Amino acid sequence: MTTHDALAERGTVTKARPARPRRTTRPGRRGPRWTPWLYLAPALVVLGGLLVYPIYQLGLISLLEYTQAQVSGGEPTTFEGFGNYATLFADEQFWQVLVTTVVFAAACVVSTLAVGCALAVLLTRVRAVPRLALMVAALGAWATPAVTGSTVWLLLFDPDFGPVNRLLGLGDHSWTYGRFSAFALVLLEVVWCSFPFVMVTVYAGIRSVPSEVLEAAALDGASQWRIWRSVLAPMLRPILVVVTIQSVIWDFKLFTQIYVMTNGGGIAGQNLVLNVYAYQKAFAASQYSLGSAIGVVMLLILLGVTLVYLWLLRRQGEEL
């Protein structure tokens, strides 16, 4: 018996531990957690400079007594705290304008989605040349500046020289005189310049749906409306959620179309929305504090909508 065997019987020899394998970097292994922030740093710096300071100034002015007298240096600036917000929330016109803004934005969003989705389905049914012509026309409307598009629509519906009244036999009817007709005219312009985004996005989503699914639904006798409601809409839900939230953000903060087409909010302010209302308070009435308070309220509302939008995007990413 060898010495090693004897020691092994007594239990005094310890077994050699196997060497630990070296940690090697996997081909698909992610880098440090701060790497994405390194790539985002330039954009964050630019956005911080363009957004953080203006938002800070907006919130600061909303807490001060800041009118034309303070701007010209005639009277000292005093701290009002939330007094401007109390004044704003006690104003009945503010709540009326807020309700009007929500209702009008909802009408714009629903109309834009309806027109955009209908034309997206139409693009899948026509040949290449009509599809190209429709895409070019839609992108032309999308690229038209808001001021230019609003002016063109005013000329089309002009009571004296506009071709629309002549075609409809309405004579010298003024579309911007009545409250609802003015809102309807602005809604048409908003839908005209907004539907291309919905149309192109939904069309891309439809093209990604397997053709076998649509053919199977058609063989089962489903109509085009039933195919959209039961097949396409559920499969396009992530895309529809994205375009809906973005349309809500865009339409809630409308300014140019309302201001240009209703001449600053309509007769006696009958076509005011929050953005135009804030402009009138700040620059027409020189009540910069109240105008800033309205801006802060709009910022908080849109921030809430944006957070919902980001949450839905993350949830859809997890589902996919």
User: Best-predicted range by mean pLDDT among 34-48, 95-109, 115-129, 168-182?
Assistant: 95-109
Rg (CA), the chain: 30
Would you state the torsion angle of the CA atoms of residues 12, 13, 15, 17, taken in this order, to the nearest 10 degrees? 90
pLDDT digits (tens, 9 = 90+) for 234-284: 888 888 888 988 899 899 999 999 999 998 888 888 999 999 999 999 988
Instruction: Give the distance, in angstroms, between the CA of residue 202 and the centroid of all CA atoms in the same chain.
Output: 16
Would you state the torsion angle of the CA atoms of residues 227, 229, 232, 237, taken in this order, to the nearest 10 degrees? -170
Predicted pLDDT of residue 307: 87
Sorted by sequence, the CB contacts under 8 Å of residue 197 that are 6+ apart come out as 116, 142, 243, 246
Q: Under the phi-then-psi rule, with left for phi > 0, alpha for psi from -120 to 50, and beta for the rest, what region is 265?
A: left
- Name beta bridge partners: 78: 65
- Name beta bridge partners: 64: 79
Structure tokens at 90: 């006690």
Question: Among all chains, which residue has been given the structure tokens 């009138």?
Answer: 280
Residue ranges and CATH numbers for the domains of the chain are 81-319 (1.10.3720.10)
pLDDT digits (tens, 9 = 90+) for 190-247: 999 999 999 999 999 988 888 888 788 888 788 878 888 888 888 888 888 889 888 9
Shortest CA distance to 252 belongs to which of 108, 82, 152, 130? 108
Predicted pLDDT of residue 25: 47
Query: In angstroms, rounded to a whole number, what is the distance separating the alpha carbons of residues 308 and 244?
Result: 12
Structure tokens at 93: 């016109």
Q: Under the phi-then-psi rule, with left for phi > 0, alpha for psi from -120 to 50, and beta for the rest, what region is 269?
A: left
Say if CB 281 and CB 94 are below 8 A apart: no
Over pLDDT 70: what percentage of the chain? 89
Question: Among all chains, which residue has been given the structure tokens 């092994």?
Answer: 8
User: Interior CA angle at 44 toward 56 and 249, to 5°?
Assistant: 65
Helix then strand count (H, E) for the chain reads 17, 2
Task: Report whether pLDDT(294) > 50.
Answer: yes
The SS3 assignment for 253 reads coil
Task: Report whether pLDDT(7) > 50.
Answer: no
